[in-house]
Amino acid sequence: MAIDPVCKMVVDEKKAPATSEYKGQKYYFCAVGCKKAFDRDPEKYLKK
């Protein structure tokens, strides 16, 4: 299972509605809207 970096939901990698790759890392999203937000500004969502 993966964590959607935008909304922090748990996402099953096999069933994720959307994915994105950033700096060689693959991210999984619960919805296309979260992917679009991430793609606009990945660093915003990856900051600890």
* Residues in Cβ contact with 21 at an 8 Å cutoff, skipping those fewer than 6 apart: 27
**pLDDT of the residue at 47:** 85
What's the token pair of residue 22?
A: 């950033």
What distance in Å separates the CA atoms of residue 13 and residue 41, rounded to the nearest whole number? 22
**pLDDT of the residue at 48:** 65
Q: Is 47 or 4 the better-scoring residue by pLDDT?
A: 4
Q: What is the pTM of this model?
A: 0.91
Which tens digit of pLDDT belongs to each residue from 2-41? 999 999 999 999 999 999 999 999 999 999 999 999 999 9
